[in-house]
């Protein structure tokens, strides 16, 4: 059996699975109602969220009612679920109309934070209470607090893997590919060993969670800024993109990537039509809920570490998910801050999402206890002082933009067609990265 021991019912977390959405406001921008002059939360609040599923299923309605019960002078909390969150919110940020509370888009670089978001406090002081503040801090100030800490790895259907005769975690990328081949060879022609979610391309960015885990190096991203060749056979970047390329080239993914469907994939892995997806731990309750709704056993959904060991140990990167921030233009900042504090301390959101609490002394959800016993956690180190934006500057100047899945879509296209070899792709990426370093003055 797999060493990971799952709790029998992940569905205890399924209802809460709805939780993960940060709220959003239908009416858009900073609230028209100002809070009381004494700082008491009151008036109207607008919150933006990427978790449209939790808006649609009523989870956030429950949050709003609980919040308003605690703060009776708050007259309204408007929640808007944004489907293309990164693209839509980035566009709205060209105006003042991007809610009061929102998840800070990943495309916002550290040096841009003061232009768009209200500082929440001194980073050093806040780190006595919260984890993973590095991503959304700048010059000693924190502008966002993560709603949950995700561990990174691989979501899989344990039943399908075991039926293929695979009962141990793969310890390196080749073993991972061999296991996918075993699933393909097991006779279940209708099962996709690995699902890329190519069409809903944002999911390809989830592979970035392997950075640092492959070589157990919490400085890996910082070290990328110091080399012209981050894509090699042994590097984290090379292992990630090489594994994607090889899986596609060897026919171990869905037959037609252009027809993948994110919402549909939840049911597919839940019932065993898909064996494996690379996603953060936040996805566990969603896939378990979808499987159970279709009549499958939710405990089939399990989690494994990145297929790489250093000194005989698996490592997994733990880090914050989306960070809640306050629109610098908000006219109701007291209420906005009250929402953020309540959400992190009282909502129970992180446990419901099968993630780690952003609070240093927060609980570990039962569904992750077995996984956590098999891995050593890595928290990626922040950039050195004065170089907080260097990686983003290089990334942008290179034209690769690792936060944008477009380059991986091209990689998959090449793997399917054979238009370029893996080595040619790595050479091209390294050439662009070197140019980006030169342009950024690295």
pLDDT in tens, 277-334: 999 988 998 999 999 999 999 999 999 999 999 999 999 999 888 999 999 999 999 9
Q: Per-residue pLDDT for 2 more than 60?
A: no
Closest CA relative to residue 349, chosen from 337, 365, 370: 365
Q: Per-residue pLDDT for 15 more than 50?
A: no
Residue 296, pLDDT score:
97
Q: Judge whether 10-148+322-355 and 150-320+376-442 match in fold.
A: yes
Residue 133, pLDDT score:
92
Q: Per-residue pLDDT for 28 more than 80?
A: no
DSSP 181: H
- Cα–Cα distance for residue pair 405/207, rounded to 1 Å: 10
To which CATH superfamily is domain 10-148+322-355 assigned?
A: Periplasmic binding protein-like II (3.40.190.10)
Mean pLDDT of 17-31: 34
Q: Per-residue pLDDT for 3 more than 50?
A: no
Any residues with CB less than 8 A from the CB of 182 and at least 6 apart, and which?
A: 164, 165, 166
DSSP 258: G
Q: Per-residue pLDDT for 22 more than 50?
A: no
- Cα–Cα distance for residue pair 87/89, rounded to 1 Å: 6
CA atoms within 13 A on the CB side of 402: 23
Residue 369, pLDDT score:
78
Q: How confident is the model at residue 180 (pLDDT cuts 50, 70, 90)?
A: very high
Q: Per-residue pLDDT for 20 more than 80?
A: no
Q: How confident is the model at residue 134 (pLDDT cuts 50, 70, 90)?
A: confident
Residue 188, pLDDT score:
66
Residue 30, pLDDT score:
47
- Residue 132 tokens, joined: 């993973």
Closest CA relative to residue 136, chosen from 382, 440, 416, 384: 382
Closest CA relative to residue 218, chosen from 154, 134, 124, 109: 134
| pLDDT tens per residue, range 320-367 | 889 999 999 999 999 999 999 999 999 988 888 888 889 998 887 877
Mean of the per-residue pLDDT values for the chain? 89
Residue 109, pLDDT score:
87
CATH topology of domain 150-320+376-442: D-Maltodextrin-Binding Protein; domain 2 (3.40.190)
| pLDDT tens per residue, range 96-121 | 999 999 999 988 988 999 999 999 99
Complete DSSP assignment for 40-101: ---EEEEEEES-HHHHHTTHHHHHHHHHHHHSTTEEEEEEEE-TTHHHHHHHHTTSS-S-SE
Contact at 8 Å (CB) between 383 and 226? Answer: no
* Helix pair angle (236-249, 173-185), 10° resolution: 20
- Cα–Cα distance for residue pair 148/175, rounded to 1 Å: 31
Every domain of the chain and the residues it spans: 10-148+322-355, 150-320+376-442
- Residue 351 tokens, joined: 């446990």
């Amino acid at each position: 059996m797999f060493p990971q021991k799952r709790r029998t019912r992940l569905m205890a977390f399924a209802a809460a699975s709805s939780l993960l959405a940060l709220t959003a406001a239908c009416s858009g921008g900073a609230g028209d109602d100002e809070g009381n002059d004494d700082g008491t939360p009151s008036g109207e609040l607008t919150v933006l969220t990427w978790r449209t599923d939790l808006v649609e299923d009523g989870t956030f309605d429950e949050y709003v009612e609980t919040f308003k019960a605690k703060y009776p002078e708050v007259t309204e909390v408007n929640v808007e679920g944004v489907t293309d969150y990164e693209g839509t919110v980035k566009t709205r940020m060209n105006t003042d109309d991007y809610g009061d509370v929102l998840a800070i888009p990943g495309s916002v670089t550290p040096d841009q934070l003061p232009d768009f978001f209200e500082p929440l406090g001194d980073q050093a002081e806040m780190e006595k209470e919260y984890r993973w503040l590095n991503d959304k801090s700048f010059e000693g100030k924190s502008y966002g607090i993560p709603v949950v800490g995700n561990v990174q790895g691989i979501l899989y259907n344990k039943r399908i893997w075991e039926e293929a005769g695979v009962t141990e975690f793969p310890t390196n990328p080749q073993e991972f590919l061999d296991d996918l081949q075993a699933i393909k060879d097991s006779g279940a022609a209708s099962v996709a060993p690995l699902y890329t979610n190519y069409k809903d391309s944002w999911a390809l960015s989830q592979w970035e969670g392997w950075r640092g885990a492959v070589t157990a190096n919490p400085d890996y991203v910082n070290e990328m800024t110091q080399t012209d060749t981050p894509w090699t056979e042994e590097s984290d970047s090379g292992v990630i993109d090489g594994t994607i390329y090889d899986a596609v080239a060897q026919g171990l993914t869905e037959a037609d990537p252009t027809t993948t469907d994110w919402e549909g994939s939840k049911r597919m892995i839940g019932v065993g039509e898909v064996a494996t997806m690379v996603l953060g731990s936040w996805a566990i309750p969603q896939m378990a809920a979808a499987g159970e709704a279709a009549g499958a056993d939710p405990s089939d959904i399990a989690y494994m570490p990145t297929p790489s060991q250093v000194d005989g140990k698996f490592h997994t990167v733990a880090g914050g998910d989306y960070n809640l921030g306050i629109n610098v233009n908000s006219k109701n900042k007291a209420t906005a801050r009250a929402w953020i504090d309540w959400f992190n301390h009282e909502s129970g959101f992180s446990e419901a999402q099968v993630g780690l609490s952003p609070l240093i002394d927060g609980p570990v959800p039962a569904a992750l206890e077995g996984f956590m016993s098999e891995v050593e956690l890595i928290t990626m180190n922040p950039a050195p002082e004065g170089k907080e934006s260097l990686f983003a500057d290089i990334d942008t100047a290179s034209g690769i933009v690792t936060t944008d899945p477009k380059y991986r879509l091209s990689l998959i296209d090449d793997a399917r067609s054979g238009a370029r070899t893996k080595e040619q792709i790595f050479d091209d990426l390294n050439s662009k990265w070197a140019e980006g370093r030169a342009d950024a003055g690295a």
